[in-house]
Amino acid sequence: MSTLPVSDVLDQLRAALSQYDDVVLEAPPGAGKTTLVPLELLSHPELSGQKILMLEPRRLAARMAATWMAEQLGEPVGKTVGYRVRMDSKVSADTRIEVVTEGILTRMLQDDPSLEAYGLVIFDEFHERSLDADFGLALALQGRELFREDQPLKLLLMSATLDKRVIEQLLPQAPLVSSKGRMFPVDIRYLGAPGRDQRLDQQVARAVQQALEDETGSLLVFLPGQKEIRGVMNALRGQVSDSVMLAPLYGDLSIQAQQQAIAPAPAGQRKVVLATNIAETSLTIEGIRVVIDAGLSREARLDPASGMTRLHTCRVSRAASIQRAGRAGRMEPGCCYRLWSESQQEQLAAHTTPEILATDLTSLALQMARWGVEDPAELRWLNQPPEAALNQGRDLLLRLGALQTTATGLQLTDAGAKMAQLPLHPRLAHLLLVGWQCGCGKLACDIAALLSERDPLSGDADFERRLSWLKGDIVCAASQKGILQRIRQLSQQFYRLCNRHLGELSQCAVALSESALSAMLIAQAYPDRIASQRREGGGDYQLSGGRAVRLAETDPLAKQRWLAVANCGGMQGQSADRVFLAMALPETLFASELSGLVQQHKVVDWDRRQERMCCELQRRIGVLVLSRQELEEIPLAEKNLALIQMIRKQGLQILPWNKEIQRWRQRVMFLHQTQPDKAGWPDLSDQALLDTLETWLQPWLDPVNHINHFARLDLAGILQGLLPWPLPNELEKLAPTRLKLPSGHSAAIDYSEFPPVLAVKLQEMLGSTDTPVIGYGVAVKIHLLSPARRPLAVTQDLASFWANSYREVQKDMKGRYPKHQWPDNPQEALPSDGIKRKKRNE
């Protein structure tokens, strides 16, 4: 142990912890920080008589770290070193180092904000920036501030690749202790990204075969998910020798299968470990000296449009690629094959996006409420939780009955307090709570266990078939026996949890079939995913949350009018998601066990089929209407507001416009566009009128109930009322409808263009060199016409036209219209309104 690189900075680390409450340790993969640092700090004087708590991002890493440290002490796990993970723990009264997963810390702080028995909390692999780690750090900082003034809780953040800028902003006084580089060198080889016609599993399989030929030792292959792992395993079967073991490694595997992947290869054999990012940190897989990195990871991200969390396949960050490559140099010099180019390496994001910025925050919102914090600004965060995602989480908690609105803000309910004690997502915690109260706790635990694990069956979406499989009514394939046992064990663990936290609650048996009970429980957990069929016998549904979803037409559930959807998803940007798991939902439940989800709404809206206003009393779940009852009386205020919304949707053309009103509006808009400051001419553009309907139109809508009633509106008078005095008089002066011509006639001005247009026969402008000016000094655009009123020229400068362009017009028109004036000196000529010339003395 003393040869591990981190040993060189242990004295510096001890000194920093003696002087400061917060310390940051940066040590590369293989330095020994996870297993050596906690053991070495046990004897630190500052921690005398206190425990060390170390956080790991994953259950497997927590167990392995605790096991390795216990072995160094020659003790069993649970004595000096123990661990606590979800549903499993090995600790005792003698335990001084507890290795826990990050969610455990949150619950420990909720129960004891001071963490009085602990002197140091270590956040290992902190670069991963999980939601639980960020929240745990925020709670630890506030808990220390409130309860540990005399003997402050010390915090140690450890990682190989830290975003120092963010940490310095939160912990500006924390010293940085840096360990040396990785223990052994790793040769980086770039293979380039797969071509468009090349599948990822094929390229990875070829890279594995190449590495097996070129290098010695075992291989660790990083892939984004289980699907890709299975694809590569299938591609390699029969292509590698019998001396090569293929070992998958991902979170859903049993503990035994995970340990088998981590264990060294038997003598005379090599191992190819196909892993997700579970193997990125904290795990030493013996014998590995070659890493093949596909450069991808699968991350859960919240889709703001649908409120659902979706799995996205993303490029890894540079920091993650460094972590992965470091796996090859832990035990001896190694090499890393990267399935991208060196130039692409420089384009990768520096660090992984913190989970708090991209994921569902329902659990965070619940735990914040339990802590007694509504405003996140009351806590110190590395990154503040996004307001939109936090509000979405709170909206769901309100629907689940975990929060309630009070005069002082949102408050945790008794049910919410119970849910917050259960180490599950609030949806499943609510499912267990409702199931326990309805006397079907065992069924609820079975459902929660199935929904907590990867779907064990393929084919249709019928969740009832999964329940039958779990009970043994459907034969379990040999390949599925491991997951069957794990789900049954998980259900039993959930039941023990319920006994511990919900045992005192009264239970009332509900007289429903097991199928109806199951559907009811799923609907209670996913009230925003109750689905209604859009067309009889079809696979298209709408969720109560508004999202469209689809079942395969051949799915047995496609015949059901209502569904309780437990799992659905799709690609971002798709108009409809696919339903993965659901149950038929009896409509009768809306009047009984699900009545709490049903709300009555008085809806005033425009009936597009009848083109009239209507008022209905609707029973709804979310956006889904269960029943309608038409009401005769329509409240004026609500009716007028609905009319405003309808006009905004359909546009201003629904109003009784005519040419006279449009011409008046164009004149006002001309003055609005050219007015000096504070002249006061209003904006009457379509957008401005639509934006201000409540101000200028709503007061006049009382008599409107039908499409034909709009014709009764005095639209001209309504709009003219928008001109304050003295603008109505100014309008006639500044934007006249007609201009007097030199010929003695007048011509209309067209304000539909800018500048406004005066269309007039050329002869009527003879002798005039001044272009007419209107408004605030705007010269009109004169369209000079032929005797047949066809355009000859366009000008805003009559003097220039007579002096230049007129000659070409005269030459062309004189022969065509010989009876009309085409004088050689148009500036001096008399205007004419026809063939006869007008004399000066007339």
**Mind spelling out the 3-state secondary structure of 380-429?**
CCCCCCCHHHHHHHHHHHHHHCCEEEECCEEEECHHHHHHHHCCCCHHHH
**Nearest CA-CA partner of 698 in 647, 632, 651:** 647
CA of 491: how far to CAs of 63, 246, 496, 526, in Å?
A: 21, 31, 9, 19
| Total residue length of the chain | 842
**Nearest CA-CA partner of 205 in 242, 177, 250, 237:** 237
- From CA 822, how far away is CA 729, in angstroms rounded? 40
In terms of C-beta density within 10 A (0-12 exposed, 13-18 middle, 19 or more buried), how is residue 672 classed? middle
The domains of the chain, with CATH numbers, are 5-178 (3.40.50.300), 186-357 (3.40.50.300), 360-421 (1.10.10.10), 517-597 (2.40.50), 602-735 (no CATH), 736-813 (no CATH)
244-249 and 288-293 beta bridge pairing: unpaired
User: Residue 779 pairs with which residues in a beta bridge?
Assistant: 773
Q: What's CA 698's distance to the chain center, in Å?
A: 37
Asked whether the beta carbons of 90 and 152 are under 8 A apart, the reply is no
| End-to-end CA, the chain | 120
For residue 839, the model assigns a pLDDT of 45
Asked whether the beta carbons of 733 and 793 are under 8 A apart, the reply is no
- From CA 186, how far away is CA 330, in angstroms rounded? 9
For residue 299, the model assigns a pLDDT of 80
Asked whether the beta carbons of 510 and 595 are under 8 A apart, the reply is no
Q: Peptide bond before 755: cis, by omega within 30 degrees of 0? A: yes
What confidence tens digit (pLDDT) does each residue in 36-76 have? 999 999 999 989 889 999 999 888 889 989 999 999 999 99
Asked whether the beta carbons of 232 and 221 are under 8 A apart, the reply is yes
For residue 631, the model assigns a pLDDT of 85
For residue 842, the model assigns a pLDDT of 42
Asked whether the beta carbons of 764 and 745 are under 8 A apart, the reply is yes
Structure tokens belonging to residue 798: 């009559």
- From CA 563, how far away is CA 542, in angstroms rounded? 10
- From CA 58, how far away is CA 100, in angstroms rounded? 9
- From CA 412, how far away is CA 371, in angstroms rounded? 10
Asked whether the beta carbons of 426 and 110 are under 8 A apart, the reply is no
Structure tokens belonging to residue 306: 């649908």
Structure tokens belonging to residue 729: 């008089």
Strands (DSSP E) found in 418-538:
530-533
| pLDDT < 50 regions, the chain | 1, 838-842
DSSP letters along 14-62, please? HHHHHH-SEEEEE--TTS-HHHHHHHHHTT-GGGTT-EEEEEESSHHHH
Asked whether the beta carbons of 184 and 319 are under 8 A apart, the reply is no
CA of 227: how far to CAs of 189, 222, 360, 482, in Å?
A: 25, 13, 23, 18
For residue 572, the model assigns a pLDDT of 54
pTM, two decimals, is: 0.78
